[in-house]
Amino acid sequence: MPCASSELTIDYPLVAANTNHAANEAGETYVTHMDDHPIQTRLEPQYGGATWRTLISCDQMNSSELVLGVAQIPAGGILAAHRHLPAEFYFVLSGSGVVTIDGVAHSVACGSSVYIPGNAEHSFAAGHEGVSFAYGFAQNAFSDIQYTFS
């Protein structure tokens, strides 16, 4: 769901989901769709019901130095305070919440971008409607990122 307050103008044709898996002559895929990736979650309470799909990661496609995914935290859920060595970004796709970075709370809503420095302690508490956001790291694979919960 796009941001309610934003207008988006697209001057090029859109491709329907699951029909554009562009590959080069060697069969390397460069285009994928979110629906082609499994929803992942962890049952431990520090994950607060969060789910995610990792879209770009070298263990899923021919890529390097970039991890991209989409996550959701349900209404009232929280991704508990944690840290990891690589810097991370969030881009809020829908909903709202509060991202706390090194003890400083920041309200975020659809369209907000967040930079999280490497090894900074951070958490994400979803608002009353939940929150959906893109996340990314300058890493080869999501599995290379070691989360340490506080």
Residue 31 burial (C-beta neighbours within 10 Å; 0-12, 13-18, 19+): exposed
Task: Write out pLDDT tens, residues 80-93.
Answer: 999 999 999 999 99
What is the distance between the alpha carbons of residues 33 and 38, in angstroms, rounded to a whole number?
11
The pLDDT of residue 2: 56
Q: Which of 93, 128, 131 is nearest to 113 (CA)?
A: 93
- Percentage of the chain lying above the pLDDT 90 cut: 70
**Residues 6+ away with beta carbon under 8 Å from 35:** 17, 18
User: pLDDT band at residue 28, thresholds of 50, 70 and 90?
Assistant: low
pLDDT at 115 over 70: yes
* Residue closest to 123 by CA, chosen among 91, 93, 83, 92: 83
Predicted local confidence at residue 8, as pLDDT:
43
Q: Residue 100: phi, psi to the nearest 5?
A: -110, 125
